[in-house]
Chains A and B, each alone.
Chain A
Amino acid sequence: MQNKKDFNKNHRMLTLLTWAFIFLVWFIITRFNLVSHLIVPSPGEVIQTFIAIVTDGYNGISLWEHLGISMLRLLIASVLAIVTAVPLGLFSGYFSKVGAVVDSIVQFYRPLPPLAYYVALILWLGIDESSKITLLYLAAFAPIYIACVAAVANIRVEYLLSAKSLGASGKDLFFQIVFPACLPDIFTSIRTAVGVAYTTLVSAEMIAATSGLGWMVIDASRYLKSSVIFVGIIIMGISGVLIDQGLKALEKKIVFWKGYQ
């Protein structure tokens, strides 16, 4: 165990060093004017812009509102994706007829670039929230659905056979064995899905939005405010990591048996 501790410590050190190096390169590039300030702002500028945005907001809207609206879109889309993709995916894996209906549709839209169908979504749903949330929803749906189908196929046969020999069938078998047996994979896929949805956030906020982190970055790019772009990207990066850490903590609590099946 002592070894493992040292190992982890070493790794954390490496991560810190990597970031220290990135900051150093950034600092040197900007300090000696190796590239234009319009393209890469200096760390000092980014920090100043950050403070300015925190205190005064951006475009008259506070940073918390930008962050809040983006997170709300992400949250609504993710929750909708989870409550629909999990049952549909499990049913598809369990009853091959359901799979025959749903599978091909998911396989068809999954590789499409989100922007391509976003245009169609706007046409059908209008330019306000519903098309944005639908875009994020579709991005999050596919990974969860596909993981659920695969998870059912990978359930240990002995789990199902012994449950049947203990008298379980139908609903009991599905809710007490199939669902929990798939939970570890479901959780992993939720983490992937939220990540994928987050990456489409900028696309969703590119068109006809007036707030949101993605919008802030797009808007700043129109006026070449590179330090705002940097602030936006860094906030998105950090919040993305925090969301994943949160989900990971939740996973550890709920799927405590992960790795022991």
Chain B
Amino acid sequence: MNNELIIEIDNLTVDYPTENESVRALDGVDLKIYQHDFICVLGPSGCGKSTLLNVIAGFTLPSDGSFLMQGQPVAGPDSQRGVVFQSASLYPWMSVRKNVEFGPKIKGLPAVEINRIASHYLDQVHLLEVADQPPFQLSGGMKQRVALARALANEPAILLLDEPFGALDALTRIHMRQLVRKIWQEDQNTIFMITHDVDEALSLGTRLLVMSKSPGTIIREFSVAFCDRVDQRTGRVHVDADYLARREEILDLIDV
């Protein structure tokens, strides 16, 4: 790894307080994220994937252990870490363009610059022609593309995606993967993505993290490079014995 270290998580523990006793969602998680990593997190439901993402986002504070971003502790959410949720959280009272302009506007950039950024990212997700529509008129896939553009418009150091394609149909999902892969290659972003789809993880990620439930922690990490072997035209990975072996291995780990 000769890329810059962005995030350093050390022995992270998260307890959720409940009525009787607290629930330990994460237990001793260690993770280093470097510039241009594409991390895909897999694991059974309830193993703490979203909790880990929420800690990185700044929504949840660690109960124990440390979480440093570019060497600094994180006190809460800020524009350095962009988030896309499973269901689009677009603001229905703003047009698509205004949604994307939200971050740059908060930053107080000049109007011309705000406009240029919004047009650039809307173009990147192929949605320039619906820029002036309200978001509720769009399809599910289009909404997620707007959410992606909105997060990208801030040019965050890392992009956090919590099952971003989980609610989409299979074909739309393949298109979304292609789009995210292209953006990641062009813009050299750093991405942390949760998915429950092993093929999705294998076809996108450079590092796959597999988590287990109780204790909620990372049990294996795989470095993969199947994303370099994607058919440019169909967007599908060329499946070979190596790929199938990895796939089996990961499924076995999740299935216990």
Contacts and interface: CB of A to CB of B under 8 A. Distances in A.
A183 interface: yes
A250 interface: no
A173 to B, nearest CB: 9
A83 to B, nearest CB: 21
Contacts of B188: none
Contacts of A180: 91, 93
Interface stretch (A103-111, A129-137, A153-161): A153-161
A167 B76 CA distance: 11
A55 interface: no
Contacts of B49: none
Nearest to A163: B102
A177 B105 CA distance: 14
Contacts, number: 66
B103 A167 contact: yes
Contact of A159 (B77, B83, B89, B136): B89
A131 to B, nearest CB: 39
Contacts of B58: 164-165
A203 B251 CA distance: 73
Contacts of A257: 92-93, 134, 136
B81 A165 contact: yes
Contacts of A238: none
B106 interface: yes
A166 B89 contact: no
B87 interface: yes
Helix, strand, loop or mixed for chain B's interface? Answer: loop
A56 B77 CA distance: 68
A260 to B, nearest CB: 4
B78 A167 contact: yes
A172 interface: yes
Helix, strand, loop or mixed for chain A's interface? Answer: helix
Contacts of A161: 57, 59, 77, 83, 85, 89
Interface in B46-74: 57-59
B85 A164 contact: no
Interface string A230-261: 00000000000000000000000000110011
A257 B93 CA distance: 6
B107 interface: yes
A207 interface: no
B57 A172 contact: no
A164 B82 CA distance: 9
B78 A164 contact: yes
B106 A166 contact: yes
Most B CB contacts (10 A, CB to CB) among A159, A162, A168 go to: A162
14 contacts: A159-B91, A162-B85, A162-B150, A164-B77, A165-B57, A165-B77, A165-B79, A165-B151, A166-B150, A167-B107, A172-B106, A176-B102, A257-B93, A257-B134
Given A165-B58, A257-B93, 8 more contacts: A162-B85, A163-B102, A164-B76, A165-B77, A167-B106, A257-B134, A260-B92, A261-B92
A-B residue pairs, 6 tightest by C-beta = A167-B79, A158-B89, A257-B92, A260-B136, A164-B77, A166-B103
